[in-house]
Amino acid sequence: MLEKRQFYIDGQWVDPAIPNDFHVIDPATEEACGVISLGEQADTDAAVSAARNSFQSWANTPLDQRVALIKKLGDIYSARRDEMAEAIRAEMGAPIDLARNSQWGAGGWHLSGFLQALEKFDFEQKMDADRIRTEPIGVCALITPWNWPMNQVVLKAIPALAVGCTMVLKPSEIAPLSSLLFAEMVHEAGFPAGVFNLVNGDGAGVGSQLSAHPDVDMVSFTGSTRAGIAITKAAADSLKRVSLELGGKGANVIFADADEKAVKRGVIHCMNNSGQSCNAPTRMIVERSAYPHALEVAKATALATEVGPTTESGRHIGPVVSETQFNKIQGLIETGIREGATVIAGGLGRPEGMNKGYFVRPTVFADVTPEMTIYREEIFGPVLSIIPFDTEEQAIAMANDTVYGLTNYIQTDDDEKRLRVARQVRSGMVETNGVGRVQGSPFGGYKQSGNGREGGKWGLEEFCEVKAISGVPIG
């Protein structure tokens, strides 16, 4: 079992002010795989102070030197892939191939997307006689969740480092091992002391302390809408910038003329990472003439989705992250049944033959109606709701009938209809016909899915202030 109680502050590993052990649980075994310490105000203050003290000199470091360090970090991230995959597997229960490929890969993909965006990024532009400068916002608190740990850490730390911000990372206490490894990589790359700091802690402790801290200029947060609201309130007194990437309840609108793999693709996407993705297409909205066939395909696909140990190679899904999540998902499946939806695959309890680990049966509900809890609430487990529609207008209204607005999906062979519907759904991203977004494309939501845009040029801008200077001749 990994024991890693120290925090990374001012370029070194330091003991917590007050030791406060917290066990990291491997969700596949329900046993501890690590021990960390949860920080106190004194740890938060020490990390913020280190970030503050190093800010001016890091902001003034020439861009090519900052970029060289980021590239070195990228090389180390690649060289230590197996260690990173193992940390992610153990802490959040991704099967090892998912951890080595998508989970680890997302970090590298975003890192190189930022490097590309930096090549074209204008830190100073002219507007007639004015200079418009883009400058780092200052000290940033990065608060991240457990579901795609390196995806989220890289989406925050790399642009902040690139534009000249300094930072304190507080990873999810549930999955802190990958971030501790990331901090080791930052150290190995040789970033100046104080530029990147890590303090472990929970939301009520270090998370709230960072959000309210008078010397933090910005909080970049990914996680639940509940915590996003709490952070926004805590940050209000110091009027710091708060960038939010929150939950989702994505609609997958499948028209009768969609390609034959559309339903299967949608189910697989929903179940990926055991359903623990904010952008998962969890509401499948199917044109009525195609509904009966969609139910058959969805049922077959869910039944064919294997659930298995995280240490085994393969395309199966693993457990959900914790006992709390397991119980929450079971409760929502129960509610779905009570409210009258029909289970056509999966259901309550663990998959057959499993009696340990937070494994959930891939579950599909038919006969769902818009009033039902399972249609409205983010479940964050391998649970899909299917519902029919009659007209295009109705499909758009149903897709938009949610407090969230992260990613919606549209499947039809008709190019014009695809674009027409894409323009009318209220979400930060619309993926159509199974085509994923390109590298550096902005990731973020409308409505209660947040207000931030991460990745590429937009992700760099998030960590910047804009300054207009007049009256100085431009040569």
Residue in 397, 447, 375, 454 with CA at minimum distance from that of residue 225: 447
If phi > 0 it is left, if psi is from -120 to 50 it is alpha, else beta; for residue 307 that is beta
Q: How far is the CB of 6 from ligand NAD (least distance, A)?
A: 18
Q: Identify which of 296, 266, 307, 272 has the alpha carbon closest to the alpha carbon of residue 284.
A: 266
Q: Can residue 41 be called a binding residue for ligand NAD (CB under 6 A)?
A: no
Instruction: For CA atoms 89, 152, 276, 27, give the dihedral sign.
Output: positive
Return the closest-CA partner of residue 254 out of 91, 111, 417, 107: 417
- The minimum distance between CB 61 and ligand NAD, in angstroms, equals 29
Q: Which of 33, 36, 163, 231 binds ligand NAD (CB under 6 A)?
A: 231
Q: Which stretch binds ligand NAD (CB under 6 A): 25-33, 110-118, 142-150, 357-365?
A: 142-150
- Amino acid, res. 168: V
Sketch the per residue contact string, 432 through 461, with ligand NAD: x for CB under 6 A, - otherwise: -------------x---xx-----------
Position 192: which residue type? Answer: P
Active site residue 270: no
| Residue 444 token pair | 């973020």
Residue 406 interacts with ligand NAD (CB under 6 A): yes or no: yes
Residue 169, interface with ligand NAD (CB under 6 A)?
A: no
Helix (H) or strand (E) holding 410: strand 407-411
Q: What is the pattern of x (binds ligand NAD, CB under 6 A) and - over residues 339-378? A: ---------------------------------------x
**Catalytically annotated residue among 173, 245, 378, 454:** 245
- The nearest distance, CB 130 to ligand NAD, in angstroms, is 35
What's the CA gap between 221 and 207, in Å, rounded? 10
The pair phi, psi for residue 427, each rounded to 5°, is: -155, 155
Shortest reach from residue 248's CB to ligand NAD, in Å: 6
From the list 66-74, 169-177, 192-200, 416-424, the region that binds ligand NAD by CB under 6 A is 169-177
146 contacts ligand NAD (rule: CB under 6 A):
yes
- When asked if residue 230 is in the footprint of ligand NAD (CB under 6 A), the reply is yes
Distance CA 239, CA 213 (A): 11
Does 224 participate in binding ligand NAD (rule CB under 6 A)?
Answer: yes
Nearest approach, Cβ of residue 404 and ligand NAD (Å): 9
User: Residue holding tokens 């992610």?
Assistant: 88
Q: Which stretch binds ligand NAD (CB under 6 A): 129-137, 199-207, 368-376, 432-440?
A: 199-207
Token pair of 236, please?
Answer: 């209000």
Between residues 143 and 302, which has the closer beta carbon with respect to ligand NAD?
Answer: 143
Tokens found for residue 452: 């931030």
Interface residue with ligand NAD, options 16, 34, 223, 382 (CB under 6 A): 223
Between 359 and 380, CB nearer to ligand NAD: 380
Contacts of 105 (CB under 8 A, 6+ apart): none
End-to-end CA distance of the chain: 61
Nearest distance in Å: CB 333, ligand NAD:
18
The site for ligand NAD, by CB under 6 A, has a size of 31
* Ramachandran category for residue 223: left, alpha or beta (phi over 0 → left; psi -120 to 50 → alpha): left
Q: Give the ranges where 22-126 is alpha helix by DSSP (H).
A: 41-60, 63-79, 81-92, 96-98, 104-119
Site string for ligand NAD, 296-335 (x = CB under 6 A): ----------------------------------------
207 touching ligand NAD, by CB under 6 A: yes
Is 245 a known active-site residue? yes
In whole angstroms, what is the distance from residue 58 CA to residue 166 CA?
7
Secondary structure of residue 449 in the 3-state scheme: helix
* From 165, 270, 278, 464, the catalytic residue: 278
Letters for 95-124 (x = contact with ligand NAD by CB under 6 A, - = none) are: ------------------------------
d(CA 429, CA 412): 17
- φ, ψ of residue 133 to 5 degrees: the values are -105, 145
Q: Between 164 and 275, name the residue whose CB sits nearer to ligand NAD.
A: 275
300 CB contacts (<8 Å, ≥6 apart)?
Answer: none
Confirm or reject binding of residue 252 to ligand NAD (CB under 6 A): no
Q: How far is CA 375 from CA 147, 195, 384, 385, 406, in A?
A: 21, 43, 9, 7, 15
Applying CB under 6 A, which part among 9-17, 243-251, 294-302, 351-359 lies near ligand NAD?
Answer: 243-251
List active site positions. Answer: 245, 278
Give the footprint of ligand NAD on this chain (CB under 6 A). Answer: 143-148, 170, 172-173, 202-203, 207-208, 211, 222-224, 227, 230-231, 245-248, 278, 378, 380, 406, 445, 449-450
